[in-house]
Chain A
């Protein structure tokens, strides 16, 4: 495996290459967990599609329409192979984002297939995207929601797993926390869920961009992720689902594309995956996501994971060495080999909003807030955290810039 060179890679990301801070230095972008930047290969793929091939898909019989359809379906197959889908052509549903993918499952499986009286088991570390759709279901049908708690070392507490999963019809869990950086060991959860007869929904929004994810190896039934966190465009997300389950489920949104026949008194649905893709799909975005997948594969996902592991270790060591008790990191320690490159922290008693503002004046972009995980914030006993997140284009210089900017913020607020 070849080591990746973040300095060389940055040259391929137009925003990182051209955007300058007021003092002329390059931007230090540490918010990829919220949304990554994208390389020119992705932008060009979308541009080329629009300027040479665009027509609506699955409709026209003329040449460019066929070509657009072919490119769109090729992108689907590519994304499917990327995550190890056994049947890439039928099991990959394109959505607007991960949120829509998870709503699709909660709606079509939750309302359509989940037996009355069956519970849904979630975790305390879920993003609102994998929480609110289930709360909506609970509000409508009285579905019981249960939660796997987290330990004081920021891991899922599985000690009551067997009890909690008993009577559950769905277990919905995040593969990696967008706040803590914890990468969850899904195997025992999948095993217990399947033994109890529940389907497993995995929110892999934070994991797919950074690690090799193989849906077949995970053994889950649904896996959701989102394009804009993995170098792809906004406006596209992905749901992988087992063929048999997708076939049984009722559609989510209704309209064109998802039907086979419509009469004035009813309709029949299209085959999967189109049954779940009502209306004109995000065609250029799918092609852009395909290009992002090509890019990630050309850099090498093992190399990306290795780079992020090393940099995350360096970052946590540097921050704790230099700032000591001034910094408190909410997440697994640097030695946890599974830990992702998401570092949430508190610095002295400076409010994360103020911290992010002062860091911005040093050209360092970090996120401050509840990160769409309010129950987790309550569990941590804070209303917000600051969060720096790393990706393939970050390097030690970025981490040092963060550390310097924190020291400046400390001086500023005295």
Chain B
């Protein structure tokens, strides 16, 4: 037992926790986006999909997924916070002058994009899941909630901005995760950076299309 605890206390162990929980969350955001694409098939398709999710494994499926996601978010934030505090402490005096050579905007803003994403996730749950932040919430009519929710311009804009930040988080996160988990093979790593950017672009474009489609009247 002491050695398992030692692993989770080490910097690399905490990074592994961040990478594995990040991977779970990636799987979720991709699946979530693909599921929502059914809004383009009309109200019946989307509402039937929502019902199917609710009745999966006699209603247990949704709760299993929610538990795994909640645990992932908590562990992800725990490792991010702990490592961030350690890194802050590792440089008590800042440089007067520091010129970035190789880092990207995405890599330097992971902590900010992460915190803003957390705020977004909480708002998003209150908006579409619990409905208490929704102007006209109808339990079970996902299509209606979707369209009515995005007709509010500031809300649509917030979703778009949050998803661009998600894209930045994903772009650096996918790449960083592969490194953290020890994947260094040059043959595959050549594609990893491009793959990370592609993955981020697919998720963001899919998600951003929803509020735009509602505002443009493509989804009535």
Partners in one complex: no
